C-alpha cells in the first residue's frame, strides 16, 4: 500500500499540473470554436452528451490497447501491471510518465468529440469510479457480476486483464463499458477467478516491486516479460477454461492453486 501510495502521489501531481490544465484549455477552445464531432450535426444536447461520453470511452479503449501494443508505451504501463496484489490502490498506480503522455490523449479526445465541460466532468467521475470498482478485490456472486458486466467492466473481467498469462493480459481493455472488447473481439471472460495469478512473470520477485525499481524500470533494459526468471514461459492449461470466451465462469473445479504451466523453449 505504501509503494502504491507513493506512485499515486506522483501520478496525481502530474495529472494536476499537466493533464487537467491541458484538458481545460481544450474544453474552452473547442466550445468557442464549435470544434469536434458533436458540433457537426444539429442534435439535442442530451444526444450530443451521450455521443461524446461514448466516444471518450471508446478512444480510451484504443489508448489502453496501444499501451499494450507499443513497446515504448508498455515500458511505463508495465509498472501498473507489476503489482502482485490487485486492489483499489492498483487503480491509481501509474507511472508519472504514463500520466504525462495521457495529456496528449486528452487533447485528442476533447478535440475529436467536442465534449462539453459538464459531460467531461461526468465522464471523469464515472471513469474514476469504475476504475476503482473493477480494480477492487470485491468478490460478487457470479450471477450479479454477469448481470453487471452487460453494462460495466467488473472485477472478474478486469482481473483477467491482470493475469500473468500474456494472451489473457492482452484482452479486456475496456474501462467503463465492456462493449468495446466485444466489438473488437478482445473480450475474454472464460478464465475462472481462482485460476488467475496477478502480475508480470519476469517482474514477480519482491525486489521488482520496490519504489525505486518501479520508478526506474521503464528506463532500464527490459526483460522478456512473459517468462519467469528461470526462462520458463507462463501458459494456461486449457482444461480449466470455459468454452465460451464471452461467458463469465465461476471458480474452477479442477484446482485450488492457479493452474499454470511453465514451458522452456
Which is nearest to 59 in space by CA: 12, 93, 110? 110
Helix (H) or strand (E) holding 263: strand 260-263
pLDDT at 112 over 70: yes
pTM of the model: 0.92
Secondary structure class of 174 (helix, strand, coil): coil
What are the b/e assignments for 100-116, b being 16+ CB within 10 Å?
bbbbebbbebbbbbbbb
Mean pLDDT of 28-47: 92
Residue 261 has pLDDT above 60, yes or no: no
Looking at the chain, the whole-number percentage of residues with pLDDT higher than 70 is: 94
Rounded to the nearest 5 degrees, what angle is found at the Cα of 122, between the Cα atoms of 116 and 127?
120
At 139, list the grid cell. 468478490
Q: Tell me which DSSP letter residue 207 carries.
A: G
Assess whether pLDDT exceeds 50 at residue 255: no
Cα–Cα distance, 93 to 88 (Å, whole number): 9
Q: Is the pLDDT of residue 263 over 90?
A: no
Average pLDDT of 197-225? Answer: 95
Q: What is the pLDDT of residues 185-194, one digit of tens each?
A: 999 999 998 8
What is the predicted pLDDT for the residue at 249? 87
Cβ within 8 Å of residue 70, ≥6 positions away: none
Model pLDDT, residue 254: 45
Amino acid at each position: 500500500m505504501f509503494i502504491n501510495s507513493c506512485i499515486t502521489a506522483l501520478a496525481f501531481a502530474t495529472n494536476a499540473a499537466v493533464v487537467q490544465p491541458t484538458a481545460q484549455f481544450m474544453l474552452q477552445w473547442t466550445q468557442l470554436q464549435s470544434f469536434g464531432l458533436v458540433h457537426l450535426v444539429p442534435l439535442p444536447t442530451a444526444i450530443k452528451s451521450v455521443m461524446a461520453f461514448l466516444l471518450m470511452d471508446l478512444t480510451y479503449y484504443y489508448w489502453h490497447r496501444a499501451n499494450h501494443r507499443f513497446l515504448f508505451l508498455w515500458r511505463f504501463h508495465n509498472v501498473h501491471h507489476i503489482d502482485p496484489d490487485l486492489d483499489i490502490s492498483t487503480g491509481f498506480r501509474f507511472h508519472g510518465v504514463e500520466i504525462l503522455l495521457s495529456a496528449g490523449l486528452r487533447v485528442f479526445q476533447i478535440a475529436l468529440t467536442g465534449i462539453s465541460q459538464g459531460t467531461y466532468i461526468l465522464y471523469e467521475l464515472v471513469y474514476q469510479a469504475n476504475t476503482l470498482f473493477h480494480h477492487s478485490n470485491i468478490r460478487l456472486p457470479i450471477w450479479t457480476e454477469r448481470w453487471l458486466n452487460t453494462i460495466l467492466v467488473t472485477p472478474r473481467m478486469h482481473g483477467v486483464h491482470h493475469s500473468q498469462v500474456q494472451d489473457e493480459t492482452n484482452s479486456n481493455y475496456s474501462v467503463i463499458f465492456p462493449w468495446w472488447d466485444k466489438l473488437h473481439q478482445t473480450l475474454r471472460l472464460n478464465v475462472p477467478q481462482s485460476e488467475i495469478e496477478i502480475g508480470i512473470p519476469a517482474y514477480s520477485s519482491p525486489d521488482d516491486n520496490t519504489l525505486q525499481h518501479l520508478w526506474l524500470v521503464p528506463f532500464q533494459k527490459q526483460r522478456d516479460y512473459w517468462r519467469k526468471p528461470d526462462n520458463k514461459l507462463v501458459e494456461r492449461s486449457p482444461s480449466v477454461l470455459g468454452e465460451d470466451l464471452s461467458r463469465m465462469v465461476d471458480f474452477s473445479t479442477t484446482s485450488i492453486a492457479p493452474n499454470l504451466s511453465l514451458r522452456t523453449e
